Amino acid sequence: MEGVEDKLFLCALCPNMCRFSCPVEEVAGTETSSPQGKALTSLLLLRGELPWTEENARPPYLCLDCQACKLFCPFDFDLPSLFHPVRVKAASKIHPPEVHSRLLRMREKGNPFGEPREKRVVGKGEVAYLPGCTAEMKEREVLLSTLRLLEGAGVGAVLLEGYCCGLPSFRAGDEKRAEELRGEVEGVLRSLGVGILLLSCPGCLEFLSGLEGIEVFHTSTFFLKLVEEGKMGLPRLSGRVTYHDPCSLGRKRGIFDPPRKLLKELGLEVVEPLKTRERAVCCGGGNPLEEARGVSRKRAKELAETAELTVTTCPTCKWALGREGLRVLDLSQVLEGRLG
């Protein structure tokens, strides 16, 4: 905690030199939604210098974990990880109402949507495919396209349904529940004895990487590999699309080019939105706070102004941006030849 407090202290003294890059600050417009404002509030909460109230505990959650600010920080701070200890405290004390329902849903139903679901392991093969909560429950087309693409390429895959990587719990500050959920995924992978884990969701990728003995892939890089190895054929398409970089795939892992390469190989023209690649704006979909919805709206507008169709590589981005009326598809759908 010392290290965290020390960093938060330096950040609290900073004149907010990354303020302009924070999408939450841009839509919320408040001082406590700015990076420095969140750090100052977090520090004071950790030190016990601010009363723990629902409102005071809001700023540490007013962060999308998108790391857009990191690019501009002279200290190279990773703010989400500095807010995390405050969220851990808040999770067991007091927190914003939206976080409260997320915590409950995750505890009771094991997914952020709070809907009931069963755990199922379907099929056989050397690859385990985990679609993740959003692809499974809200964007099922992504899951179905992925399965068909795998089948078409002759890749034997086991589908893991009803499993959550645990990231939504972790981000809400519930480390225990996050560990349980991640443990369940690891358990089923071990029992199946597979060596490859395939993911549709970059959030799962962020949270499940580092499992010993298991190679973890996101669909974008996996499918590119199959195409390059000649195992997967591509349909011919034409038209203009724009591409939205999910934070957990692009900025956080540097995977910018594989999806673009596939889109170009399909014959599509890719036009870049104003804020793209390292500077791409978060979709806001992973955060339950009302302010995050404003970020989704703004990003959807920017993308809509760029091209008639947006392609992305994250079911949560697709869901969050689609909810704002954007025409958006997942790369897996486009790889099947769909453009609408």
Beta-bridge partner residues of 216:
197
Q: Which does 259 bind (CB under 5 to 8 A by kind): ligand SF4, another protein, none?
A: none
Q: Which is nearer to ligand SF4, 100 or 279 (CB)?
A: 279
In the complex, the smallest distance separating the C-beta of residue 66 from ligand SF4, rounded to whole angstroms, is: 4
Q: Which is nearer to ligand SF4, 10 or 234 (CB)?
A: 10
Beta-carbon contacts of 48 under 8 Å, excluding residues fewer than 6 positions away, are none
Q: Which does 263 bind (CB under 5 to 8 A by kind): ligand SF4, another protein, none?
A: none
β strands within the chain, DSSP E: 120-122, 127-130, 157-161, 196-199, 215-218, 240-244, 269-271, 310-312, 328-330
Q: Which is nearer to another protein, 50 or 88 (CB)?
A: 50
168 contacts ligand SF4 (rule: CB under 6 A): no
In the complex, the smallest distance separating the C-beta of residue 254 from ligand SF4, rounded to whole angstroms, is: 17
69 contacts ligand SF4 (rule: CB under 6 A): yes
Q: Mask of contacts with ligand SF4, 273-302, x by CB under 6 A?
A: ------------------------------
4 contacts ligand SF4 (rule: CB under 6 A): no
In the complex, the smallest distance separating the C-beta of residue 74 from another protein, rounded to whole angstroms, is: 4
The torsion of the CA quartet 289, 216, 68, 259, rounded to 10 degrees, works out to -110
Tell me 255's DSSP state: -
Q: Which is nearer to ligand SF4, 67 or 276 (CB)?
A: 67
Q: Mask of contacts with ligand SF4, 21-40, x by CB under 6 A?
A: xxxx----------xx--x-
In the complex, the smallest distance separating the C-beta of residue 269 from ligand SF4, rounded to whole angstroms, is: 30
Q: Which does 24 bind (CB under 5 to 8 A by kind): another protein, ligand SF4, none?
A: ligand SF4
Output the CA angle 180-64-145, nearest 5 degrees.
70
DSSP string across 137-179: HT-HHHHHHHHHHHHHTT--EEEEES---SHHHHHHT-HHHHH
Q: Which is nearer to another protein, 41 or 134 (CB)?
A: 41
Q: Which is nearer to another protein, 122 or 274 (CB)?
A: 274
Phi, psi for residue 198 in degrees, rounded to 5: -110, 135
Cα–Cα distance, 307 to 319 (Å, whole number): 18
Tell me 69's DSSP state: G
Contacts with ligand SF4: how many residues (CB under 6 A)? 26
64 contacts ligand SF4 (rule: CB under 6 A): yes
> Sheet of 157-161: strands edge to edge?
120-122, 157-161, 127-130, 196-199, 215-218
Q: For tokens 């924070």, what's the residue?
A: 22
Q: Which does 208 bind (CB under 5 to 8 A by kind): ligand SF4, another protein, none?
A: none
Q: Which is nearer to ligand SF4, 79 or 185 (CB)?
A: 79
For the chain, the first-to-last Cα distance in angstroms comes to 49
Q: For tokens 């992925």, what's the residue?
A: 146
In the complex, the smallest distance separating the C-beta of residue 299 from ligand SF4, rounded to whole angstroms, is: 12
What residues make contact with ligand SF4 under the rule CB under 6 A? 10-11, 14, 16-18, 21-24, 35-36, 39, 63-69, 72-73, 75, 77, 79-80
